[in-house]
Amino acid sequence: MFPQDITRALLNVISNSIYATLKQNAKLSEGAYKPTLTIITKNVGDAVEIIIRDNGEGIAPEIRDKIFNPFFTTKPPGEGTGLGLSLSHDIIVKQHGGMIDFDTRPNEFTEFKLTLPRSSVEQTGA
C-alpha cells in the first residue's frame, strides 16, 4: 500500500463532499440545513471499507457515468480541475486493486464506498 496515495484519494472524496454540503447550504434557507459528513470504516474480512457520506446536493443522474472521467467537473472555472475523482479511482482501483462505488439521491445525500484489499496482488516481474 502507498499511504500517501490513499490519503490523496480520501482527501479528494472528502473535499468533494464538503463542497457539496457548502453548495447545499447556500441553496437552502438559513437554519434549515445542517451540513453533515460521516466517515465509517468497516472490517469486511479480506478487505477494508471506507464509507464517506454527505448530505449535500447529490449527484445528478445525467452525470453519474462521467464523474470518474479525467477533467470532468461541475465546479466553476478556477475551483476544480476535474481530476480529483479520476485520480481517486486510479489510486483505489488500478494501483491498489480495490473498488470505488457510490450511491446518491439529488438534494439528499451522496455516499462513496472505497474498498481496499488487505493484501495486494503479488506482481511478478521478469
Predicted confidence band of residue 122 (pLDDT cuts 50, 70, 90):
very low
Residue 74's CATH number:
3.30.565.10
pTM of the model: 0.86
Q: Is 54 exposed, middle or buried (0-12, 13-18, 19+ CB in 10 A)?
A: buried
Q: How many domains does the chain have?
A: 1
Domain of 12 in residue numbering reads as: 3-117
Side-chain-facing half-sphere of 71: CA atoms under 13 Å: 0
The answer to whether position 125 is within a domain reads no
pLDDT the model gives residue 124: 40
Tens of pLDDT along 55-109? 999 999 999 999 999 888 877 777 777 778 999 999 999 999 999 999 999 999 9
**Domain assignment of residue 123, yes or no:** no
The per-residue pLDDT for range 16-56, each reduced to its tens digit, is 999 999 999 988 877 789 999 999 999 999 999 999 999 99
Q: Is residue 65 part of a domain?
A: yes
